[in-house]
Structure 1
Amino acid sequence: MMMRLQKPRVTGVAALCLAMALPGMGQATEGYFALAYGPAQRGVGGAGVAYSVDPMSAAINPASIGEIGNQMSFGLELFSPRRGFTANGANPLPNGETRSGHDFFPIPNFGYNRTLENGAAFNVLVYGNGGMNTSYPDVVNSNCGTATGIFCGGKAGVDLMQLFVSVGYGRKEGNLSWGVAPTFALQRFAARGLAPFDNSTYSVSPGNVTNNGYDYSTGVGLRAGLKYEINPRLSVGLAGQTRFHMSKLDKYAGLFENYGSFDIPASVSAGVAFKPRSDLTLMFDLQRIFYSDIGAVGNPTTGGQFGAPGGVGFGWDDVDVVRLGAEWQQGPDMTWRMGYAYATNPVGPEDVKLGLLAPGVVEHHLSFGGAKKLNDHDTLDFAVNYVLPHKVSGPGMFGGTVELDMHQLSASIGWTRKF
């Protein structure tokens, strides 16, 4: 089998985030879930299930909604994933190294939290995932005769964007905080360069496999969380999101399992925050993302046809994430953050033949950041994240070997206003 895939005005600011997000995203940290969704959380490696700092904390645990008061935040991350593959005798892939283009992605986020008269609070968030993104050039390929490209069909790759808009409600009652956040999701997807599979031999829906431009799907899920303060120094938290049942990507009904189905997986997280002294907070989180439950992502890369119920998927395993974070308040106006996250690699050696289209194989994430208090109302947050190089090797489609590789670098900045 050959494969080639390719009282601020909340509404106005949220609409701006939507407009900025739609051109494209490229995260691929915990599979294709983001490391975190705001610079304060990125600075501590995405930890914070049991710790609240700004409105974007509710993206990790909605229980934060009832604790953070009246705040608005806006952030922007410049994300740079570097990915590609090296093939050796893995026909039809060209021998040697091939790198994906599109190395820089701007990713905005927006959060708003407001306390209500009854003591509860509501929260609005706009944030995104991405990551199944590759753009391989129209390279000369000796396996293709007069044709070019990694699969003998010109430029090849896939592009997935996921945008989330949530409206949450939460409150703090004694030592217990809780929150719920119904969340709307929008997906955008395109694939190109898959013409060899756009036929009845490989697909149940020829004509709906490749080169059909962008298609969109929508759906709704629920996020919820709890947090309990055992004492002033120790807190624990639990959070999760349901599976998002998305409308089908009809233009790619011949590519994704069950005629274009591409749901968003459920996840669950637990965490502890400990303050050994008043100016230092230590965080430890665990997370599982259930990629294997989504047929288009978790089904094996061999057997069956593209688009069929139970058909070919990307072969991804569930991802387990361990996060460690530390926040030190140097003084009244300056806070420093650092963190580390380890995520298991979802792509096994048996799945590299499709994994080159979405090589989310990285494991080790390093984070550093901080916050500068500008005045009584405004704080500037920043973070830098580096994801160490990681490689996975396995058999090609018709023999030979394929080695996937990726590393990442990102820088983010954000502004938070208390009111």
Structure 2
Amino acid sequence: MKNLLRLVVVLFTSAVFAQAGHVMQGVGAVNMSMGGASTAQPLDISGALQWNPAAISVFDSKILDFNLGIFFSAPELSSSLPANMLYPGSPAVSGTTLDDRPVSPMPALAMVWGKEGSKHTFGVSAFGISGFGVTFPQDTNLPMDLNGNPNPSWDPTNSNPINWPQGLRGFGKLKSDYMLLQVGLTWAYEITKNLSIGVEPTLNYAALKLEPNPIASPSMTLGYPVSDKASAIGFGAQFGIFYHSDGGIKLGVSYKTEQQFSDMTFSNTYLDGSAAPDVDFKMNYPAILSFGLGYSMEDFDFALDYRRVDYENTDGFAEKGWTNTGSVKGFGWKNINILSAGIQYKGIKKLPLRVGYTYSSNPIDSELAFFSTPATAVIKNALQFGFSYSINDNFMLNGVYHHGTSDGETSGPILDPMMASPTNPYGAVPGTNVSYSMTTDMIMVGLTYKFKK
């Protein structure tokens, strides 16, 4: 039992890699295979609990759903300097660093209690709903050592300045690890046989580690420190309305409030091992408004969702720029739009097949791209293929394959707080560039168990 509890803790506190900003596009194999669309098309309990608490009213039995995915990501970080920047006559410099982070698990656990003839349905869920993480190693192809001695074998065409050591005005090794686990308790009530409402109080746990930690003020001689993993507890809620007509048309709307967190307190250490001052940082989870349209006929289920994610009014994301001590205020992200669509074909006995697509706009302005180098998990287009197999009346096996791409680079100038001024508020360094792109792949399997009535 102790080993099982340790496994559960490890799974649910692992980094979850989001697909739309830092918001997971879906939860569980079924919902992911529909592109995350579930606000008005509750094909499974995990998708309904995540996107519209009112929609669990369609389930009239006790159901348990567990999913586990393996996530692969391939971020790339590039930067460049113009000629003559290092010293008079120096060549232009550019390079790319590949992420060397291992694969990550993605768990999801949900349960619903429904009863035929009852107006009340209850649910509980534990989902990893947000996260990002990169590990870009320090560049070893350097123009000089920390004492200023030139490196005669230096290749400026394959050298990434942003990953140079801090002594050469780079970040060195760049690493981040963020996750958010959300536990929800859901109640849905049928006002009529076609109309339901739902409410879901949520309890959240978030953890963040940064290396180096740009939230801390740098030392003039020691640079930015490295942080330990800081954590915080947050609270929020989600509300929903769900309508399904007798003709197969379904409508849904839900609103997830901003998840309010306590401050994260980072204990920091400089690279030479000396202690750096602790620093507090508040990073909430944004409010999300979702609208859904669904339609079901004999062999097909269609789903379409639109979401609006409010980063511009969320602590940690709304703030931008430098403090007067050279630390970063926040990410400075814009609001984003997410479109999810999916179709399920049920014409094969015991083997429903699904295809889903997800589009997300980019929350990162080019002039602020530098601030988001630790959080490059921005996927513009994602495609999913999934299936279910009915083992018997009680067990259903579910699976999905996901592939996502950023569809080009997010790029902007390198920023330096020492160059910030009223006419150059973010300290853009002329002629420089930093950019990142990413692809993602995931395989997830799930098992749904319907208890005997």
Q: TM-score, normalised to structure 1's length?
A: 0.86
| Preserved contact between residue 94 and residue 142 of structure 1 (Cα < 8 Å) | no
Deviation at 1:383, TM superposition (A): 0.6
* Contact 2:131–2:180 (CA under 8 A) maintained in structure 1: no
**Structure of larger gyration radius:** 2
Match of 2:81 among 75, 89, 108: 89
- Give the Cα–Cα distance (whole angstroms) in 2 for the partners of residues 67 and 261 of structure 1: 38
**What is the aligned partner in structure 2 of residue 124 from structure 1?**
124
- 1:119 Cα shift? 3.6
1:3 is matched with: none
Asked if the contact 1:17–1:110 (Cα under 8 Å) also holds between the matched residues in 2, the reply is no
Which of 229, 253, 260 is matched with 1:245 structurally?
260
1:370 is aligned to 2:387 = yes
Structure 2 match to 1:8: none
Instruction: Give the 5 Å matches for 1:14-413.
Output: 17-22=8-13, 24-56=14-46, 57-69=48-60, 70-89=62-81, 95-115=94-114, 119-140=119-140, 142=142, 145-146=145-146, 150=163, 152-153=165-166, 154-172=172-190, 173-194=192-213, 198-199=217-218, 210-251=225-266, 259-275=280-296, 277-302=297-322, 304=324, 312-390=329-407, 391-397=409-415, 398-399=429-430, 400-413=432-445
Displacement, 1:88?
Answer: 1.2
Q: Which residue of 1 aligns with 2:421?
A: none
Alignment check: 8 A CA contact 1:108 1:127 kept: yes
Q: Is the 8 A contact 1:26 1:81 kept in 2?
A: no
Question: What is the Cα deviation at residue 112 of structure 1?
Answer: 0.4
What is the percent sequence identity of the aligned residues?
Answer: 21
SS in 2 for 1:59: helix
- In the alignment, the residues of structure 2 paired with residue 263 and residue 46 of structure 1 have an alpha-carbon distance, to the nearest angstrom, of 22
**Distance of 2:255 and 2:443 partners within structure 1:** 27
4+ long deviations beyond 6 Å: 12-15, 90-94, 252-255
Give the CA deviation at 1:176.
Answer: 0.5
Quote how far apart the aligned CAs of 1:138 are: 2.5
CA contact (8 A) 1:159 1:189 kept: yes
Task: State the Cα distance separating 1:54 from its structure 2 match.
Answer: 2.2
CA distance in 1, matches of 2:342, 2:124: 25
Identify the range of structure 1 (332-341 vs 391-400) with the bigger mean alpha-carbon deviation.
Answer: 391-400
CA distance in structure 2 between the partners assigned to 1:36 and 1:196 by the alignment: 30
- Shift in alpha-carbon separation, 1:184–1:413, aligned structure 2, 3 A: same
CA-CA distance at 1:126 after TM superposition: 0.6
Displacement of 1:87: 1.0
Query: Structure 1: any 5+ residue segments left out of the alignment?
Result: 1-11
Structure 2 SS opposite 1:351: helix
- Give the total of aligned pairs: 398
Q: Which residue of 1 aligns with 2:423?
A: none
Instruction: Tell me the distance in 2 between the aligned counterparts of 1:181 and 1:13.
Output: 28
**Residue 379 of structure 1: CA displacement?**
0.4
In structure 2, what residue type is equivalent to 1:212? S
Post-superposition CA distance 1:171-213 (Å, at most 9, x none): 2232102211111000011111248963378xxxx99x74231
Given that 2:15 and 2:132 are in contact with CA atoms closer than 8 Å, whether structure 1 keeps it comes out as no
1:249-268 CA distance string (max 9 Å, x none): 0117999xx94111111101
Shift of 1:217: 0.1
Contact kept? 2:183, 2:202, Cα under 8 Å = yes
Alpha carbons 1:185, 1:220 under 8 Å: kept: yes
1:145-183 CA deviation, whole Å, 9 max, x = no partner? 339981524422221110011111112232102211111
User: Offset at 1:243?
Assistant: 0.8
Q: CA deviation at 1:80?
A: 1.2
Question: Per the alignment, in what secondary structure is the counterpart of residue 136 of structure 2?
Answer: coil
The 1:109–1:384 alpha-carbon spacing in structure 2 relative to 1, beyond 3 Å, is same
Q: Which moved more, 1:114-123 or 1:282-291?
A: 114-123
The 3 A distance-change label for structure 1 pair 15 and 142 is closer
Deviation for aligned residue 1:29: 0.5
Distance 1:253 1:167 in 2: 36
Give the counterpart letter for 1:283 in structure 2. Answer: A
Distance 1:35 1:196 in 2: 28
Contact kept, 8 Å, 2:33 with 2:354, in 1: the verdict is yes
Q: Is the 8 A contact 2:140 2:164 kept in 1?
A: no
Q: C-alpha offsets along residues 117-138 of structure 1, whole Å, 9 cap, x if unaligned?
A: 9541210101113433111113
